[in-house]
Amino acid sequence: MVDLVLPGFEEMNSGFKPLARGALWARIITRKVMQLSSAQREMLCEIAHSAYLEIRQLAEAEKSEQAFELAAVFHELLDDVWNEDFSFPEFRADLLSKYQLKYPGPKAKNFVVLIDRIIAMGEEGRAET
């Protein structure tokens, strides 16, 4: 099985972890298309980008526990969103709301509000059909 890693990453980090194993990578690239509209996918990318920036800022501020928890929430989102039974409202309730309640600080981006926008976009799309 082949590990997929960023070039130069091994030299920068002793104790590195591979990004994905061959079997996992094959599962990722053969999944069905997400059941999201173009606008929802675009907003999801913007939210994920904001989360990654916040994770970096948390790490720089030595808030590793919070950075880890936010990374775990978005790892679950970006993995589960491909499943046919994925539900943004369930993701919001089961994972994201718990994170946001634990870390409500003024500097933290309110990801619950952003996910609510994606949910509303989906409801608008269903109303139009």
The per-residue pLDDT for 83 is 82
pLDDT tens digits, one per residue of 30-40: 555 557 788 88
DSSP characters for 7-76? TTHHHH-TT---SEEHHHHHHHHTSPPPS--HHHHHHHHHHHHHHHHHHHHHHHTT-HHHHHHHHHHHHH
The more confidently predicted of residues 9 and 84 is 84
What digits encode the pLDDT tens for the residues 20-71?
Answer: 444 454 555 555 555 778 888 899 999 999 999 999 999 999 999 999 999 9
Average pLDDT over residues 93-107: 85
| Residues linked to residue 21 through DSSP beta bridges, in sequence order | 3
Q: Are strands 3-4 and 20-21 parallel, antiparallel or unpaired?
A: antiparallel
**Distance in angstroms (rounded) separating the CA atoms of residues 32 and 50:** 25
The model scores a pTM over 0.75: no
